[in-house]
Structure 1
Amino acid sequence: MLKFVKNHMESIDGIATYPMISLLIFFVFFALLFWWVFTAKKEYIKEVSELPFEDNNQINNQL
């Protein structure tokens, strides 16, 4: 089965570009994520990190 798949994959023209495109998309995504994390405002991160606690407090206050 593996031999069939390998032979079939080798017969496709330009198959080597797909792993390179995947690696490029992976690298760009995490590079942008890394950039966003270090450029995000600290106030925004603090506000978002407290959201789960605010929802929990609102539920407890309603009871």
Structure 2
Amino acid sequence: MLKFVKNHMESIIGIEIYPIISLLIFFIFFVVLFWWVFTAKKDYIEKVSNIPLDNHNDDIL
């Protein structure tokens, strides 16, 4: 079974680019995420972190 898959994958032209693209997407996503975390305003983070503790959302129920 593995031999069949390996031979089948080798027959596809240009397949070697897909792992590179997925690695780049993964890397870029986490670089952007880290950049956002380090540049986020402290007031915004404090406001969002207090949302679960806020009791003023009683009108939703």
TM-score (norm 1): 0.86
Secondary structure of 1:9's counterpart equals: helix
CA deviations over 1:1-50 (Å, ceiling 9, x no partner): 11100100000011110000000000000000000000000000000000
Displaced runs of 4+ in structure 1, greater than 4 A?
A: none
The number of aligned residues is 58
The gaps in structure 1 that reach 5 residues or longer are none
1:11 is the counterpart of 2:11:
yes
Distance 1:59 1:22 in 2: 41
Task: Select the structure that is richer in helix.
Answer: 1
Structure 2: which 5+ runs fail to align? none
